[in-house]
Amino acid sequence: MQQNQSILSYKRGRYLKLALWFCALAIVVYIWHEPPVVYIKPYGGTWLGYTLGTIAAALIVWLMWLGIRKRRYASNLGSVQGWTSAHVYLGTSLIIIATLHSAFEFGWNIHTLAYALMITVIVSGFFGIYAYLRYPEMMTGNLAGETLESLLLKISDLDRKCRKLALDLPDEINTIVLKATRAHPRELAVGNSMRRQITAINADCPTRAACDALLRVGGKLNPEQARINGQLLSEMTRKSALTDRVRRDLRYRALMQIWLFFHVPLSFALLAALTAHIVSVFYYW
């Protein structure tokens, strides 16, 4: 079996073909299907409407089952790769199936809410596919053979080195350096909030601020101090470059995760809304 196969091209797009045929069939039947005249126009309550609705609901439950299947390492029911490939394509086909089920009728009600949730989940899934296809490559390029851990350790070393160098420099510089290298949780150079991780810019990055400050104060020092300051500046600049890489790495990691924070909880909200949609239709039959 090919190892580096993407989930999109799994078994030469077996599930892509399945999903396309399925959608085409649904569209053809929808066009061919003439609802009884009393219904005025197609809607979810004709035989085709109920069929499409049942298929869509079953698909949603099955798509969510991926969360269970991927944790069942002992299961032999298809490979997780195959499941994921099918998850992507059949999940996308839901857009067509559910829209045909709705017969393009939308309103401010729980039925359209369930539809909107479904679309949101699918779109967040699209982002997930994009992230999984694009970011690992970019991460590898960014790390360039290093690991996040090794980068952090290097930063740590540089911090210590900088602090040591700054001891011989005036208080002003020492304070700047201390600020930039102190591992106080509130002044984290990288990471912290999800928003910061994703935007990957720290406007108030203390390392960058220290670099600027060191460059500024360089002229006022005596030759010996200037030499140390030069050394300090080069170390600080190295650290700045490292922190930028760490930030980028964290950004990619966050982007690869963040969509799941929408995809998964929203699909559970969708499951609830779908339940309400089905119950409501038959509660007031």
Partner 1 sequence: MEIQVTNVTVNQRGQAQRDQRRIAGPVFIIGRGTQCQIHLPDPRVALSHARITVTDDGAVIEAEPGRIQINGQATQSARLAVGDRIEVGPYLLQVETAPEGVPLALAVTLVNPLEGTKSEGVNRVAPSENRISKRRLSYLGFGGMLLLTLIAPIAADLLGRVGPTTTFPVAPDAKHGAAVEMTQAVSAKFTESWNPGPLSQSHQPFAADCRACHQIPFKHARDQECVTCHKRIKEHVPAKELTGPQGQAFRETRCAECHRDHKGVGIAPRAQEQCADCHADVESVAANAHSEKVTDFRTDHPEFRLSLLDADKPKLVRRVRQGKQSAAQLVEHSNLKFDHKLHMDPEGVRDPEGKRDPSGVRDAQGRRTVLKCASCHEPDEGGRLMKPIVMEQHCQQCHSLAFEPQVTKRQAPHGSETEVATMLREFYARLVLGDVPPDVNPPPDLRRTRPGAVLTYQDRQAALQIANQKAKAVLYDLFEKRKVCSTCHTVKRTEDEAGWDVAPVRVAQVWMPQAIFTHAKHSTETCETCHDVKGSKESKDIAMPDIKKCRECHVGAKPVSGKVTSDCATCHKFHAGRDYWHAEMQAQMLAPPLSKGKK
Per CB under 8 A, residues contacting partner 1 are: 36-41, 43-44, 105, 107-111, 113-114, 117, 145-150, 152-157, 159-160, 183, 185, 188-194, 197, 231, 234, 238, 246, 250, 254, 257, 260-261, 264-273, 275-277, 279-285
- Which one, 80 or 278, has the nearer CB to partner 1? 278
Q: How far is CA 254 from CA 69, 96, 162, 185, 197, in A?
A: 24, 31, 30, 19, 6
| Residues composing the chain | 285
- Which one, 57 or 270, has the nearer CB to partner 1? 270
Q: How far is CA 202 from CA 74, 156, 173, 208, 218, in A?
A: 44, 18, 21, 9, 25
Residue 11 C-beta: closest distance to partner 1, Å: 29
- For residue 204, how many other CB atoms are within 10 A of its CB? 9
Taking the alpha carbons of 200, 193, 205, 147 in that order, is the dihedral positive or negative?
A: negative
- Which one, 6 or 234, has the nearer CB to partner 1? 234
- Which one, 85 or 102, has the nearer CB to partner 1? 102
- Which one, 63 or 266, has the nearer CB to partner 1? 266
Residue 195 C-beta: closest distance to partner 1, Å: 10
Spell 126-164 as b/e; 16+ CB within 10 A means b. ebbbebbeebeeebeebbeebeeeebbebbeebbebbbe
Residue 161 C-beta: closest distance to partner 1, Å: 9
Residue 279 C-beta: closest distance to partner 1, Å: 6
Residue 166 C-beta: closest distance to partner 1, Å: 15
For the record, the structure tokens of 14 come out as 């077996």
d(CA 93, CA 114): 16
